[in-house]
Amino acid sequence: MNPKTPAWRKSSHSGPEGNHCVELANTPGKVAIRDTKNPTGATLLVDRTSFHRLTNKLRTL
């Protein structure tokens, strides 16, 4: 693996059908988020603190 290429992993909450999937990758100081169905599309980069706030908030919904 190229060290500049992030290792993407599918969310464990994406479901078996793969219709509503996101992938995550750790990058230096950030978490990258992308749509599994469109891997060459846009990537959202958020700092780790914001990502943890987001995931904690989503758990309460």
Q: What is the pLDDT of residue 19?
A: 66
- The pair of three-digit structure tokens given for residue 11, joined into one six-digit string: 């969310």
The string of pLDDT tens digits covering residues 12-52 is 766 666 667 889 999 988 999 998 888 899 999 999 999 99
Specify whether the CB–CB gap between 13 and 19 falls below 8 A.
no
In 3-state terms, the chain is what percent helix, strand and coil (to 5)?
A: 20, 30, 50
Q: Return the number of other C-beta atoms located less than 10 Å from residue 7's C-beta.
A: 12
Specify whether the CB–CB gap between 8 and 24 falls below 8 A.
yes
In the chain, what are the domain boundaries? 9-59
Q: What is the pLDDT of residue 1?
A: 39
